[in-house]
Amino acid sequence: MPEEFCYENYGFIKRMIDVVKRGLFLLSIGCLLFLFSANAKTGEYEIFNLTTALVLVIVGAIMALQGKKRNNTQKD
């Protein structure tokens, strides 16, 4: 175990990894919703599903990037 590992920071790092996981989950749900928001027969998008998908993708990406940035600064 490296000397710079500190048990006091373990909880913080674990929470940040959870934030990244939740962000990636929201991102994947948004992508799936975007995929299923199109009607193949008519070629039209359902606007409610499309806006919900875009919001989930944006929020998930922000959470994942923010958690990743905090993890990188914590390791340095």
Residue 19, domain member (yes or no): no
pLDDT at 1: 47
Q: Is residue 47 part of a domain?
A: yes
Is 33 a domain residue?
yes
pLDDT at 33: 93
CA distances, 61 to each of 2, 39, 55, 56 (Å): 31, 26, 10, 8
Domain count, the chain: 1
Q: Residue 38: give the domain boundaries.
A: 26-75
Residue 52, domain member (yes or no):
yes
Answer yes or no: is 58 within a domain.
yes
Please check whether residue 15 lies inside any domain of the structure: no
Give just the sign of the alpha carbon dihedral 48, 52, 58, 61.
Answer: negative
* Angle (CA) 60 73 2, round 5°: 120
**Percent with pLDDT over 90 in the chain:** 33
Q: Tell me the β-bridge partners of 45.
A: 38
Task: Report if residue 16 sits inside a domain.
Answer: no
Residue 32 in any domain: the answer is yes
Residues of the chain with pLDDT under 50: 1
